[in-house]
Chains A and B, each alone.
Chain A
């Protein structure tokens, strides 16, 4: 008898805030500079230095807390997390421990998982270790160089409850979280560059089982694909262990996307005692009404609200709306596109379906995560959909034009001209073609007369082939029915 297992997944996300200065000193925040050119005695941990809290980081922290419906603590303090590592200049990280900025929030993926946010808190980022050695990875190097430019970057750490039940859900959730953070403008949430980092806590249990089994920690998966695959691999590994009578060990693991393998980084038995105690150099944070109002006012429309608006104002179906809401870059492209053609407005529903259907397919083909990385402009998309809407272009011709637009840019009108894709204006010409197609497809005609209406597809196909897709599908169908005398 095989047991059915369910995964139990929680995420720990670190977000770098896009403030102008570091968390605890006035050094500028920047990316890609020469090592150690953005440092000062404070972020280098020189003797006698003291931290000073960045007001904008607090503001962004409050925005994040409110965006995820968290309870903002009336009073929170900072703690020192003590351990030795070269990227930690003071020998401790200033973070928050048992009185964090916010707790008990929620983020629900439309049509997907609803995940509770356990807590969100403020802390500073560590510096960077550059390993000198052949591969540049830790093992195999003899010495390392520490670059303190990144040290002190403001972070918000968001921890979810273990409410996720599949790797795909984890991916969808993280996508929405990322989109939300990007839209509220607190971070550029770039996973490759490290301004959004995600660790996953994974365990499994039998379906119906109460309580949790041992969990492992998957660290630093720097893309959505790797996150999903890594979690899947770990779930499989754990199920295998439990099924064969073993016990999962508490470990920290690294997923190698190339080989698909999971390697232990360190056992949690060696877990550090961080000796947390309240940070004496910083005073408590007591968010005032003013601070909360400012954070609330700075929040743009959040995904859930936007979803509702898309459904109401534009009459979009919830699936289509969810895709637009959950993918920041796609959603903003859609909005810009919608606003690009004024006057004779393009139908929002049609534009949305073209965006989430045909456009997304082409982006996936071209391996792009952002429609703006393609050659297609928002205005061009709107014009294209408008042409289809007003019957100036057939659906299938439009698809060909879209491919051209995403690959080489340009304007729909000009491409239609150049490729000769104008629909057949002369209905006489079309009638003739339809008649010929009917004659050449007697088998299909037979089936149609016997009630199998779908058989018309073969005739439509023949017409499309002849007209190189310029015929309007609906019109062709109408002519076929008329010719065959069916209603």
Chain B
């Protein structure tokens, strides 16, 4: 019975809940029990909900439990953004994305672990503890949504929401063998998402399959009067159903493709194998070029830290969060932030402050914003010749804990294939496509802005053909 319940995907669970075949309480108990039993070793949750929810059968999501990355403000419930500077902080309001899902009937299972302020690609920058990849506990789950990805891959939550700025949903999804989607910038409200890089951050689903991702996305999207940069999607999100890929053109950019520098051979093999499956399904595969994509990391690691240095200025110990003892005002600011922020956050604040400073602005931030324009132009040009662009999601499979913590640049390179999309504001999804050395490899599909429905449909058809079992790493 428990196994049957556990094996239900979120969409399947919704159906059965609405039909009254299972109860929300028992589903909640199942997951809460597994978290209790297994998360001590995994480390994916920073806060766990106590009580099971009331019956919500007649809502669209009917009480299915949901894991929420600790970057989302949840009223009265501890929200740390993975940082000690917000230890114990209970927000005065709930993020719009979470509010929408709760209103649609989801019930919150807990807040998941993450890299501090979403800065990282391995969840090793969490101010609390690292997260272990359910596929191999000596390896990282990816980041910054490492907790959400691990929880779903380990079967500790049916689905989760995370955030993606440079790849923070897609890369952990790839490393944990699940589905992760970053929507078009502006599709989902950012109100209540603790800000990292405002012009890049987006909320998205981490799920066992593409159908679940679509269902979650449907209830996330929409224009929010509290977020001036939100516009929702032009049409409702539909659940995917495509069975072939006839007439769909796929572009492989040589700069981000299997031949690109840093792409592991095992990853390249799975990628090429997936291209063959695409052809089998009737899709056309061609080479395209994104000339400025190799500069994506450089542009990203100027823009994101710059915006972050400003977004994190509010953590000063005055109105909330950690506060360091007494002294002068300057002492208050310096000690609070020195104590509360981890090393990577400090590094990025310094980098960002430098990139914005007088005399350097044009050379760094100014140029990075121009590179961004070129990257967006490159995509527009390429989408004139293909419907979707495909790349490996991550250059490598999950690396070992501690392997890259001494080499920030190596860590940043994990995002090589995922940063161009947020820079251009376009959506992208990662689906698990195979194994290399026994570890999952993700396949990324990127589409033009607002192409979510078509992209989900395409991903679904491919997913069905690939047949990857996303329950394989469930902890027992």
Contact = CB atoms under 8 A, between A and B. Distances in A.
Direct contact of A and B (CB under 8 A): yes
B310 A283 contact: no
Contacts of B91: 41, 46-48
A47 B228 contact: no
A275 interface: yes
B194 A280 contact: no
Nearest to A279: B198
Nearest to A283: B228
B313 A84 contact: yes
A52 interface: yes
Nearest to B80: A47
B225 A52 contact: yes
Contact of A90 (B225, B313, B333): B313
B188 to A, nearest CB: 13
B306 to A, nearest CB: 7
B316 A84 contact: yes
Interface in A28-72: 41, 44-53
Given A41-B93, A280-B199, A89 B314 contact: yes
A44 B307 CA distance: 19
Contacts of A53: 228
A92 B312 CA distance: 10
B228 A51 contact: yes
A257 interface: no
Interface residues of A, number: 28
SS class of chain A's interface: helix, strand, loop or mixed? loop
Contact of B194 (A48, A89, A283): A48
A471 to B, nearest CB: 73
A91 interface: yes
A50 B86 contact: no
Interface string B329-359: 1000100000000000000000001001110
Contacts of A49: 191-192
Interface string A63-87: 0000000000000000010101010
A47 B365 contact: no
B227 A50 contact: yes
A25 to B, nearest CB: 9
Contacts of B191: 48-50
Given A82-B313, A84-B316, A273-B358, A52 B228 contact: yes
Contacts of B361: 275, 277
Interface in B348-383: 353, 356-358, 361, 365
Contact of A91 (B93, B314, B356): B314
A282 interface: yes
A277 B228 contact: no
A433 interface: no
Q: Which residue among A48, A84, A276 has the maximum number of chain B CB atoms within 10 Å of its CB? A: A48
Given A86-B318, A275-B358, A280 B307 contact: yes
Contact of A84 (B73, B81, B333): B333
A276 B89 CA distance: 30
Contacts of B192: 48-49
A146 to B, nearest CB: 7
B87 to A, nearest CB: 13
A93 B307 CA distance: 14
Contact of A47 (B86, B199, B307, B318): B86
Contacts of A89: 314, 318-319
B195 interface: yes
B310 A82 contact: yes
B49 interface: no
A49 B314 CA distance: 11
B68 to A, nearest CB: 13
A92 B313 contact: yes
B314 A48 contact: no
A44 B318 CA distance: 10
A281 B228 contact: yes
B200 to A, nearest CB: 9
Interface string B288-310: 00000000000000000011011
Interface string B192-226: 11110011000000000000000000000000011
Contact of A86 (B195, B228, B329, B353): B329
A47 B91 CA distance: 8
B86 to A, nearest CB: 7
Interface in A435-454: none
A141 to B, nearest CB: 12
Nearest to A25: B226
Interface string B217-246: 000000001111100000000000000000
A277 B226 contact: no
Contacts of A84: 313, 316, 333
Contact of B228 (A45, A91, A282): A282
A91 B319 contact: no
B46 to A, nearest CB: 15
Contacts of B228: 50-53, 281-283
A276 B358 CA distance: 9
B161 interface: no
A281 B198 contact: yes
The 10 closest A-B pairs by CB, nearest first: A91-B313, A280-B198, A275-B356, A280-B199, A47-B194, A48-B192, A48-B73, A273-B358, A45-B314, A48-B194
30 contacts: A41-B92, A45-B314, A45-B319, A46-B319, A47-B73, A47-B81, A47-B91, A48-B91, A48-B191, A48-B193, A51-B228, A52-B226, A82-B310, A82-B313, A82-B356, A84-B333, A86-B318, A86-B329, A89-B314, A90-B313, A91-B316, A273-B357, A275-B310, A277-B356, A277-B361, A277-B365, A280-B199, A281-B229, A282-B229, A283-B228
